[in-house]
């Protein structure tokens, strides 16, 4: 057999693929092509695995990029599925997790935002969630299980838009936004009630039935039935006015205004579509692609976002959009209608896969005329403009990286710069931060924060740097031992002076890492920006002209690391401040916590209380009182 030597082990990619054919089934499934080091080159799906894989053995008819992929293939893995739609979903999930170099990749480190109405509580909370729609996490009732157990509305392209929407919903429906711990410990209404943004269910100012009606109103508005809700509000206002209850009528008037403000905050609407719909428009130029997404929920525009997937010049527009949609909706609920700027090869298959993922019917269309096409044309204009800005930014970024290479005598412009800083307040809540930048700008999905574990390092900037670098490069050696995955920096920038530089140099030398260029950037006299000094091992300090673009670039990198470190420190501090001494005690839930705080007034008083006092607390049994006493007194 061609490509298979006498020992029976194929030496070329086509031979490896050909050797798999006798055992492959004629069923749907997913295949992975692996390189010699075991890394995944490509993930593909097929309606018929044997027929699809066999097509790679006829290399003469393949595009150059595919030939290159076949030549690098040294092994293959297969997973069969029941249907081709299941194969498409599995392919999308594997691409997102494995990031194969020969696949179309949706690379975007910004997560979507959602509005969530929690469940599992008599008075559900209105809150914001950022991240995957089905990911666990967060506080309150939504943390008890998967986010899908809550009512989730979105996605919204901007967290700022979610914040404005929640504020308007609070004014219109008076739902609480506090977490369950705060809710359980309230003894009187909070400021939100005073400014008419909450009905104060924590202290019984509203009963469950009335609050449930408020919750249903929010669900109706977020589901596109705001006109019906507004009509109900108007009827209540008229009835109150007819009864000469003018204060009550004014309250309904204010709620109508809040609802009107929510409805009017639109940039562009999708004519003739009242259901949920998304628009995906593709524009390519200069070897780069941009997909502009418009998100409509209940006929209202919930923001736009530009994506820049990694594509090959040989890919067809429809194939790019199909792969993009499958990956985009892997952890984001697909809408009832998906409008595409270019026709895809198998729209029914894509619709079936998205329907399977969403648990309801999803339609895929590529309209050629009418209001829907006008919206797509508008999205295409936005995609072209966004791509133009991206290409201009790339050109500027490349020039700056070339300047960095020139200033520090690097052999080539760095593709990965890692910037480090630390933050603490008198040794409390110490955090080390790593920020990453490259040709595409800041790579926020590569940022890392290190909660300093060594208590003796807290407050010692040098010791904090040592721990940060030790943990960072131990992990790099584990994840990328041969430095082939792009996880090692071409340049390390440290916020500090000669002392910080010497500390990092010595720590890396102990780790036997001596080939990465190091630079420390310190503010000049009086900490004036523009008079920074740059320290390098074995060389005198360097100063750049205050108007040098490279200096401004280095300042931006340093400031981003500083911001990241401070944000991490503040997050640790706020988490500690919000934690009560009663939290986490087995058997003490929200109801018992509320009873204890009502009886004693504070968690400190609970901790110092005697056993008899604990037993006298309403709702606390003798066994629970003994458990509490033992917890605080050993």
Structure tokens at 552: 């401004």
Query: What integer pLDDT is reported at residue 4 of this predicted model?
Result: 41
The ranges assigned to domains in the chain are 13-98, 113-264, 277-388, 417-576, 590-633
205 vs 38: CA distance, rounded Å: 63
The pLDDT score that the predictor gives to residue 263 is 62
Report helix angle 347-358 to 317-328, nearest 10. 10
Which pTM value belongs to this model?
0.64
Handedness of CA 51, 56, 59, 62 (dihedral sign): positive
**pLDDT tens track for 57-92:** 888 878 888 888 999 999 999 999 888 888 888 898
> Which SS3 state, helix, strand or coil, does residue 102 take?
coil
What class, spelled out in words, does domain 277-388 have in CATH? Answer: alpha beta
Output the pLDDT for position 264: 55
- Give first-to-last CA distance, the chain, whole Å: 76
- Structural contact between residues 132 and 113, judged by C-beta atoms closer than 8 angstroms: no
For position 509, what pLDDT does the model report? 93
pLDDT digits (tens, 9 = 90+) for 471-521: 999 999 888 888 887 889 999 999 999 999 999 999 999 999 999 999 999
How far are the Cα atoms of 125, 522, 562 from residue 528, in angstroms, in the given order? 47, 10, 16
What residues in the chain have per-residue pLDDT under 70? 1-11, 107-110, 131-149, 224, 261-275, 299, 525-530, 576-580, 634
The pLDDT assigned to 467 comes to 94
**In the prediction, which pLDDT does 510 show?**
93
Distances (CA, A) of 611 to 595, 627, 629: 16, 10, 6
- Name the residue among 485, 483, 488, 441 with its Cα closest to residue 469: 488
Phi-psi region of 224 (alpha: psi -120 to 50; beta: other; left: phi over 0): left
590-633 CATH: 1.10.150.20
What local confidence, expressed as pLDDT, does residue 370 receive?
86
According to CATH, the topology of domain 13-98 is: GIY-YIG endonuclease (3.40.1440)
Residue 293: name the closest of 225, 376, 402, 229 by CA: 376
The sign of the dihedral angle between the CA atoms of 82, 85, 91, 96 is: negative
Closest residue by Cα to residue 600 from 590, 613, 587: 613
Give the CA-trace dihedral at 467, 471, 474, 477, to 10 degrees. -130
Q: Specify the pLDDT at position 10.
A: 52
**417-576 and 590-633: same fold?**
no
Residues 252/233, Cβ–Cβ less than 8 Å: yes
Q: Token pair for residue 27?
A: 């069923």
Q: Where are the beta strands (DSSP E) in 501-574?
A: 518-522, 533-536, 539-542
Q: Which residues pair with 536 in a beta bridge?
A: 539
Quote the pLDDT of residue 262: 67
CATH fold for the domain made of 417-576: Nucleotidyltransferase; domain 5 (3.30.420)
Plot region of 518 (φ>0 → left; ψ -120 to 50 → alpha; else → beta): beta
């Amino acid at each position: 057999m061609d490509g298979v030597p006498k020992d029976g082990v194929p030496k070329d990619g086509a031979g490896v693929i050909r050797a798999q054919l006798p055992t492959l089934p004629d069923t749907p499934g997913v295949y992975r092509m692996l390189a010699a080091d075991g890394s995944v080159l490509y993930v593909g799906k097929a309606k018929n695995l044997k027929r699809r894989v066999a097509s790679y053995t006829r290399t003469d008819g393949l595009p150059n990029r595919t030939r290159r992929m076949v030549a690098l293939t040294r092994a293959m893995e297969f997973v069969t599925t029941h249907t081709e739609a299941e194969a498409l979903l599995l392919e999308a999930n594997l691409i997102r997790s494995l990031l194969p170099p020969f696949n179309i990749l949706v690379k975007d480190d910004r997560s979507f935002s959602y509005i969530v109405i929690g469940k599992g509580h008599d008075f559900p909370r209105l809150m914001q969630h950022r991240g995957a729609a089905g990911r666990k996490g967060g506080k309150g009732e939504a943390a008890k299980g998967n986010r899908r157990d809550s009512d989730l509305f979105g996605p919204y392209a901007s967290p700022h838009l979610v914040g404005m929407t929640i504020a308007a919903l609070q004014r219109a429906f008076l739902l609480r936004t506090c977490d369950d711990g705060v809710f359980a410990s309230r003894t009187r209404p909070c400021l939100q009630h005073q400014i008419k943004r909450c009905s104060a269910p924590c202290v019984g100012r509203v009963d469950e039935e009335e609050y449930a009606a408020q919750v249903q109103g929010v669900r109706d508005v977020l589901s596109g039935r705001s006109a019906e809700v507004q009509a109900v509000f108007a009827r209540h206002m008229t009835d109150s006015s007819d009864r000469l209850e003018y204060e009550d009528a004014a309250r309904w008037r204010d709620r109508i205004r809040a609802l009107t403000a929510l409805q009017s905050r639109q940039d562009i609407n999708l004519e003739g579509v009242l259901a949920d719909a998304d628009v995906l428009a593709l524009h390519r130029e200069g070897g780069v692609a941009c997909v502009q997404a418009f998100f409509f929920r209940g006929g209202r525009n919930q923001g736009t976002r530009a994506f820049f997937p990694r594509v090959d010049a040989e890919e067809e527009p429809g194939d790019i959009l199909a792969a993009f949609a499958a990956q985009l909706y892997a952890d984001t609920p697909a809408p009832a209608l998906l409008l595409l700027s270019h026709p895809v090869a198998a729209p029914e298959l894509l619709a079936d896969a998205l329907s399977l993922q969403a648990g309801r019917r999803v339609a895929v269309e590529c309209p050629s005329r009418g209001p829907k096409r006008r919206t797509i044309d508008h999205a295409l204009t936005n995609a072209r403009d966004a791509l133009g800005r991206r290409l201009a930014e790339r050109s500027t970024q490349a020039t700056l990286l070339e300047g960095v290479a020139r200033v520090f005598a690097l052999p080539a412009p760095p593709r990965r710069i890692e910037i480090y800083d630390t933050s603490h307040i008198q040794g409390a809540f110490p955090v080390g931060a790593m920020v990453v930048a490259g040709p595409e700008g800041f790579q926020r999905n590569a940022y890392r924060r290190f909660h300093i574990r060594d208590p003796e390092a807290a407050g010692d900037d040098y010791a904090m740097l040592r721990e940060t670098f030790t943990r960072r490069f131990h992990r790099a050696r584990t994840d990328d031992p041969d430095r082939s995955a792009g996880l090692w920096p071409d340049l390390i920038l440290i916020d500090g002076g000669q002392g910080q530089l010497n500390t990092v140099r010595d720590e890396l030398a102990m780790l036997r890492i001596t080939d990465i260029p190091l630079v420390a950037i310190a503010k000049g006299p009086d900490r004036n920006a523009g008079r920074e000094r740059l320290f390098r091992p074995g060389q005198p300090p360097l100063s750049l002209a205050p108007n040098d673009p490279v200096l401004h670039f280095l300042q931006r990198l340093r400031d981003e690391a500083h911001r990241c470190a401070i944000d991490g420190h503040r997050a640790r501090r706020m988490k500690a401040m919000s934690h009560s001494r009663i939290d986490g005690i087995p058997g003490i839930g929200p109801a018992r916590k509320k009873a204890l705080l009502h009886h004693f007034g504070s968690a400190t008083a609970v901790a110092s209380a005697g056993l008899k006092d604990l037993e006298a607390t309403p709702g606390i049994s003798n066994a629970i009182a003994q458990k509490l006493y033992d917890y605080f007194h050993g």
